[in-house]
Structure 1
Amino acid sequence: MIRRSPTGRITHRMGGSRPERVMIAASFVNRVGNGLFNAASALYFTLVVGLPAAQVGAALTIAGVIGLCASVPGGHLADRRGARAVMMLALSVQTLSMAALVLVESAAALTVVATVDQIAAAAGGAAWGALVARVGGDRPALFRARLRTFVNLGVVLGTLGAGLALAVDSRSAYVALILGNAASFALCALLLLLLPHYPVPPAPAPRHRRLVLRDRPFVTFTALYGAMGLQYPVVSLLLPIWIAEHTEAPRWTVAALFAVNSAFCVLMQTRIGSRVETPHDGGRAFRTAGLLFLVSCPIFALSAHVPVWAAAALVVAAVFVHSLAEVWESSAGFALGFGLAPEHAQGQYQGLLGLGFGAGQALAPVILTTVVLGLGTVGWMVLAVFFAALGAAGPAVARWGLRTRPQPDKSAETTG
């Protein structure tokens, strides 16, 4: 299938324009590095450096909370100075901070270095969202969906590489993973040099420094999106514990569910994302995601009450439904996140969305372990209703957001 670019040139949809291919390559490289690091970071600081797990957790939590505060200011800076420039600066800082982790020998040093890294990550994330909007042109949600396909693939490949290093289980192997992630940041920044220079969109007067905080529909959607983000740790955190402690399913089921989740997201993100591009589409997709979570959560709960192979089959089936919901939810986030944001303020709008998502991820472990693991089957039902209620609000928030967007001057169009 082909389409015409804004300049009239025909490009293949799967190949995309040159800036799109550059952005995909840069994101892929960056996420391979993330996969290398994330799978082994906690083990490095506890087993190799010898820090207590509680100190490592506290350091990373402090860094994460402080870093979140940089999301909106970083996005505002991207709107004023250019998204590519801010993202390249953030990647350069992360290259240095990640490399510096191999020198860390204390909890205090880990806190400082990790905080610098998280501040740069938050600011760079907001700039990255704005850059996606520029590169994606008039279809940023579809491009973001395509991008997520390669992002997921990059994380999977990085995680496989980390598995090889973990099998070696030596200091040099862990250090190689950390430096590999640092190198991925540097290479990602270099690849962004291949992007064209996008001029900063002019902002209407008066320019509000925190325009996004005045946008009540978008703030409301950010809260919904952050809360719905609890679904991500369901697979990565909650299910392994649930399977091990509450079901008769064999332990290899954990690996199977990760494979199903990753493969489904890689294969289906673009296919479903191509159907969810406008804010109206996004509102309906958010509702669809909530309804699918309403189905998947009870199936997870049921797996604790059946024999071993039935439990394994139910968990895999539930992950399949959960993954389908995840793709609809992420597509909704792209459509509403880009569609409700004014062109001149994409950075701060993406920054606020990242802030909401990050806050939800920070709270997710305590909520999921307390509610679901604490209440068991009832906890799964509560989670299902929670997700469904969030999703049900999607269409109304989309309509509210569209009503409050500036309307084109029809009289001027008629005169022209």
Structure 2
Amino acid sequence: MTATEPAADQAAPPAPAPNPPAGLLARLLPADRVLRRLTWITLVNTVGTGLGMTLGAVFFTRIVGFPVATVGVVLTVAGACGVAAGVPAGRLSDRFGPKPVLMVLLVLQAVCAAGYVLVRSLPLFVVLACLVAVADRGGSAARGALFAEVLAPDARVTGRAYLRSVTNIGLSLGTVAAAAVLQLDSRGAYVVALLVDAVSYAVIAVLYGLLVPVPARTAAQVEEAVSGPNPALRDRLFLAVTGLNAVITLQFMMIEVGVPLWVVRNTDAPRWMVAGGLLVNTALVIVLQVRATRGTEEPAAAARIFRRGALLVAASCLVVGLAAGMPGWVAAVVIAAGVALQALGEVYSQAGAWALSYDLAKEGAHGAYQGVFNTGMSGALMLGPVLITSVVIAHGLFGWALLAAMFAAAGWGMTALVRR
């Protein structure tokens, strides 16, 4: 960055590419040159993530030989380290710029992910897992701040929505590739797949540096952003919004942990509905996420869209809970309906949350605000599995009703809060 370039939020929107893609790609890829570059970077990243996410736990239990419970504890500890990384990563992004911070964290993630294949001892596993989690969650905060810099203010939410659709496509492709590795079930296959995941982080670090231009801030703007205490931690409204969004973030653990366990343990639906439900969710998010951002331009409207999503997710909890005790094919249909409702709620709640995370932030301090916002989400993702299993699954339909009440309260609370 140079100190003579204009501020990020005062910069003109990036000009469209002089030679936009032709044919089908022209209809699928965005016209904005920077967003199109971010699309390819996101695709490379998430294909690798799909591989690592699917195979990591299996590798450490089946190939390395750690007990399942041990792996679970290590990943929980790593998750706690990741929660602690969001705020400082966001603060560093305001001081040094989000792009260099993100690139450093991606390189760290690449090195540590590659180190997984050398793990033979538990202490090394703990250290690498914690560093990977720190790089991942800190990178999320820096990435959110980067989007605020490189995308025009009125294109941030739709841009994130588009990239989230791309994320689901990439994760699906990575998961399909992981299925082939699981079928081969050899150490060599697992090692190659994990190294591909590690290389993907290194590749996108380079691509961010080469392909994504970042308007720099003046020295005075940098000093204003980082002087004094973290502004996001002193912003009570933003902290409350972060907390309500953390509640809604539990929906990801609901769909990834709660629904699979409920299908297998408490319903007569065929077990393939575990995969079927995830496919329904993924497909709907890919198709609907960008459309769900319409109308999020003002904070009050974004809060109402968030509430709509929260109420849809609450309804999905009740529908999924009702599947217990029904005949197999009826239970399968009910589960599919519940997952579809959750996907609709997910795209609306995420669109509203993204808009609020940017609109309520202090300009020039998006790193600090995104760091706090992502920390709330990380905390929910860390605690979610325990909450889902010990409260929801353990108490049946009553547990699902409690979860629905939490989501509904978060939705109504958000509109009341933002109205102030």
Q: TM-score, normalised by structure 1?
A: 0.91
Determine if the alignment matches structure 1 residue 68 to structure 2 residue 79. no
Among candidates 151, 157, 163, match of residue 179 of structure 2: 163
Quick one: distance in 2 between partners of 1:382 and 1:20? 40
**Equivalent pair of 1:142/1:277 in contact (CA under 8 Å):** no
Moved more, 130-139 or 315-324: 130-139
**Equivalent pair of 2:150/2:213 in contact (CA under 8 Å):** no
The amino acid of 2:201's aligned partner reads F
* Percent identity over paired residues: 38
- Post-superposition CA distance 1:266-321 (Å, at most 9, x none): 00001112332332222101210121123211111111132111111111011111
Quick one: distance in 2 between partners of 1:218 and 1:52? 41
- Post-superposition CA distance 1:145-178 (Å, at most 9, x none): 1111101111111111111111100001111111
Quick one: distance in 1 between partners of 2:173 and 2:75? 24
**Equivalent pair of 1:142/1:276 in contact (CA under 8 Å):** no
Structure 1 partner of 2:390: 370
User: Structure 1 unaligned runs (5+)?
Assistant: 401-416
Structure 2 partner of 1:26: 41
Determine if the alignment matches structure 1 residue 122 to structure 2 residue 128. no
Quick one: distance in 1 between partners of 2:40 and 2:418? 32
CA distance 1:119–1:206, change in 2 (3 Å): closer
Quick one: distance in 2 between partners of 1:79 and 1:7? 21
Structure 2 partner of 1:190: 206
The amino acid of 1:188's aligned partner reads I
The amino acid of 2:43's aligned partner reads F
SS at match of 1:393: helix
Among candidates 49, 60, 69, match of residue 45 of structure 1: 60
The amino acid of 1:72's aligned partner reads V
CA distance 1:265–1:8, change in 2 (3 Å): closer
How far off is 1:181 after superposition? 0.7
Quick one: distance in 2 between partners of 1:291 and 1:174? 41
Structure 2 partner of 1:290: 310
Among candidates 169, 173, 186, match of residue 153 of structure 1: 169
How far off is 1:8 after superposition? 8.7
Aligned length: 396
**Equivalent pair of 1:235/1:258 in contact (CA under 8 Å):** yes
SS at match of 1:16: coil
The amino acid of 1:376's aligned partner reads G
Structure 2 partner of 1:409: none
Quick one: distance in 2 between partners of 1:86 and 1:189? 10
Structure 1 partner of 2:6: none
Quick one: distance in 2 between partners of 1:65 and 1:8? 38
Among candidates 6, 28, 50, match of residue 12 of structure 2: 6
SS at match of 1:87: helix
Quick one: distance in 1 between partners of 2:211 and 2:15? 19
CA distance 1:194–1:381, change in 2 (3 Å): same
Structure 2 partner of 1:404: none
User: Structure 2 unaligned runs (5+)?
Assistant: 1-10, 18-25
**Equivalent pair of 1:74/1:347 in contact (CA under 8 Å):** yes
Quick one: distance in 1 between partners of 2:171 and 2:94? 29
CA distance 1:9–1:37, change in 2 (3 Å): closer
Structure 2 partner of 1:55: 70
Quick one: distance in 2 between partners of 1:79 and 1:6? 20
Moved more, 61-70 or 309-318: 61-70
How far off is 1:97 after superposition? 0.7
How far off is 1:121 after superposition? 1.8
Moved more, 388-397 or 290-299: 290-299
CA RMSD of aligned residues (A): 1.8
CA distance 1:69–1:206, change in 2 (3 Å): closer
**Equivalent pair of 1:81/1:200 in contact (CA under 8 Å):** no
Quick one: distance in 2 between partners of 1:319 and 1:98? 32
How far off is 1:206 after superposition? 8.5
Moved more, 203-212 or 158-167: 203-212
Quick one: distance in 1 between partners of 2:356 and 2:288? 19
1:1-400 alignment runs, 5 A limit: 6=12, 9=15, 14-139=29-154, 140-192=156-208, 193-200=210-217, 202-203=221-222, 204=224, 207-400=227-420
